[in-house]
Structure 1
Amino acid sequence: MAGILLTTAAQEYLGDLLSKQDTDGIGIRVFITQPGTPYAETCIAYCKPGEEKPEDRMIPLEPFNVWLDSVSEPFLEDAVVDYAVDRMGGQLTIKAPNAKVPMVNADSPLNERINYLLQTEINPGLASHGGEVKLIDVVEDGVAILQFGGGCQGCGMVDVTLKEGIEKTMVERIPEITAVRDVTDHTVKENAYY
């Protein structure tokens, strides 16, 4: 199944659930609310005949069909639906690592490419210290203006992080960027990571 994997256990569990419904031909529909944003949620819902949308992509499985929402489909790449038995019975899980990631390419606007790099590579590293960085603006001569938050605000190592980590990565990966500047008020030290 291109893009999304339903494990055998998930197919058996969903097939059993669907067989208990009183609707012939019922399947499931997989979609993401607010795809490509930090608020993205991956959902599975019953899909009775006629409830699918014309632009959905149908994936036939035994003994039911899966309908993929066309807007959500790119964000479902590498998604895995699994069912695991545990002490309480079992649990259906959906892991969609690309659900919250905006789709960008070399032709995407500069701000989108910067935010993508921040979300996918830079902020995951800063998160281990309870920190984050966000783009404020890009000014003349390709200077990205950034603001730190969380554990980075007030941290004594922020200059090293900015120059050795973030600036090196951004200049290397995004040709239009020549430098980065920090506009964070680092006198606020309540949550600083040391």
Structure 2
Amino acid sequence: MMMMMTKENKAEKKTSVLLPNLRRLRIGDCSRLKHIFQMIMVADQGLSQLEEIKIYDCPALEEIFMKSNDDGENKSSKVVLPRLRVLQLIELPNFSGVCRGVGSVLHNYFPACERLSIYGCPNLKRLPVVVSPARSSTPRLRGIETEETWFNDLEWNEPISDELHLQERVKVEFLSRRPAWFS
């Protein structure tokens, strides 16, 4: 593990590199975990090699990347996951988003994402990717595994066009129970 944090006194600019070679992140059975990373720790390609995120059975988890007071109002700090192919979120009842406070710019963060698996995340009201035809954040997205009722209750930027666009280009598989690979 390599962790490097620097702070330039004149400009008060903060940069960090955290786990630059991490390819797979799997976290499970953590009952009190609310956040995994602070934004400042993953800004500027801090997790640029990350290909898979699998999180399961973390009932208190609210978000993966937490915007902290140290991040200030600097809108240039980004969570950049250019190689993320798989995002699996299973049994996270308090999970409400990958990163709150970043808003609609999340579409820049997962360009290589191929598969989403979301199950047991009732507080997640939007897909963690942008799917509109005008600005899809996941041109490689090929599959989504989720609960049908959750998918039907999703909030969309453009309700009809976004949902239709997604279903035209991505295979959506509805799960009736917890995925077998997490049991």
TM-score by length of 1: 0.27
Rg (Cα) greater in structure = 1
Greater fraction helix? 1
Greater share of strand = 1
